[in-house]
Structure 1
């Protein structure tokens, strides 16, 4: 089947490749919004593997999703409608869930920033999938391979590679079930899952939203919020930007006049973090760009941050 598809697509136009690929991405986006399931998957980046269980239920009260790391240190995340409800530690990490990251895919819009191609069929977790290859048209994002389930449209595997075709990240289901008893029984958080609150900071604590002077073309601002663990600081503002396929987040944390912080750049697999210490109204802030974008893009975003707070405040 793969060989036959590969042979026929040699004679197909790029427009036909794109049209076929966008239909698969539309199915994938619909499945994210509508499909409940329970499964286990492997996640790899920079040669480091971890395994996680995931329970997801789509109901009248929205989408509830729980992730549990099953190897190494115990970690757990619970989301309601994409918002982090609780986590096992004070990190603002959102856990790793490729399917939720792609809930807002707009396939037609993506064609402006990526080229797409149907690469054939194979099997993942004992299920038939179609493989869609996605190549960026600029240097501000990475290439993807998406393995989409024939029956449900769910993403069962993804690969993320850089411009040198080096594998940065692998996400792959090993088992998956659509039985209601399986996905509804594991949605309650454990005792160590600490509540994450979206709160108003107390008087005298200024948590601004900074507006970068440059972001990669195609990325738009989505959700803004202020987060803290247990509603008791530290208070950190976050702004999420996405092109529909990948995203980055800008975090801003007040440092105060006496607290020191260093500019930094770190990378693990496809995830890059770039921090800048900035000043506004004689106060210092640490602004950090975190996302699955090339380091040069993250550096440029961070360098473009203005020292004046121009965004809205909660």
Structure 2
């Protein structure tokens, strides 16, 4: 099979199987070990991450609804995301369509969590996105390990199953959180998807293979400022473009935090920030392509 065919199998397995295990997340020098659970009921996906170390928290996704409960403070946040996004790995719906942007190569086999795994290398054909490898369980087609690499070949991010239990016939318990008591501090964040053409901005250029995914407007609770958010993606890499009114202190130029780069610029009285797990060149390229829409 080709690399694209392997990844299509992975996408199908992630959306249809019931499985659970222990996952280690490594990013920006931080290591987080969590219990992971995935179920599918009546075609609806649910995921749950439960931390094993402080700060103790439980993160649940049911389709596109995400909630996070901090057990030590009883604070709970709820967010409705415009799209379904896995906690483990982002995959394009049709990997073969990205053959002009990525080489999807079958690259040997290894043992991960005592399970035979096929390595699929995702190699960009330009300098505008990161390379990655995905270790695929040969028995279930599930991703056992994911690594994202910087332009110099260094590991920027890793997700690793240390144990995995797959049982399509007998799903684990439903990952529903216990009802939140009245004394819990709950914050809800719900934004409706809007048409980007109604924005005062336009995006004149972005990397080939990227597409507009959604556009929303959020009102910040403290400042009451409206922040517009456009997400573009090539399926593997997501880039967010934020538009807001310029504050007293403006932010301009490049910032880097681990695998995440951001580039900010000011257009008149407005602040634009482009952020994503992509090379610095990419966020600057997108930011330079933002302009005010002609009325």
TM-score when normalising by structure 2? 0.79
Structure with the higher fraction of residues in helix conformation: 1
Structure 2 match to 1:246: 237
Alignment of 1:97-176 (within 5 A): 97=86, 99=88, 101-102=90-91, 104-176=92-164
Q: Cα gap change, 1:65/1:269 in structure 2, threshold over 3 Å: closer, same or farther?
A: same
Q: Map 1:201-216 onto structure 2 (within 5 A).
A: 208=199, 210-216=201-207
Could you tell me which of 254, 265, 275 is aligned with 1:276?
265
Alignment of 1:180-199 (within 5 A): 180=170, 182-185=172-175, 187-188=177-178, 194-199=187-192
Corresponding position of 1:178: 166
Gapped regions of structure 1 (runs ≥ 5): 1-18, 202-206
CA distance in 2, matches of 1:176, 1:273: 35
Secondary structure of 2:202 counterpart: coil
CA RMSD, Structure 1 to Structure 2 (Å): 3.4
Aligned to 1:16: none
Kept after mapping to 1: 8 A contact 2:39/2:171 = no
Q: Any residues of structure 2 matched to 1:1-314 within 5 Å, and which?
A: 20-60=2-42, 62-85=44-67, 97=86, 99=88, 101-102=90-91, 104-179=92-167, 180=170, 182-185=172-175, 187-188=177-178, 194-199=187-192, 208=199, 210-227=201-218, 235-255=226-246, 259-279=248-268, 284-308=269-293
Inter-partner Cα distance in structure 1 for 2:3 and 2:21: 25
For the Cα contact (< 8 Å) 1:67–1:78, is it kept in 2? Answer: yes
- Extract unaligned runs of 5+ from structure 2: 71-75
Q: Distance in 2 between matches of 1:158 and 1:209?
A: 38
Q: Deviation string for 1:71-119 (max 9, x for gaps)?
A: 3434544333235455768898x8x9553522x3312112111112212
TM-score (norm 1): 0.75
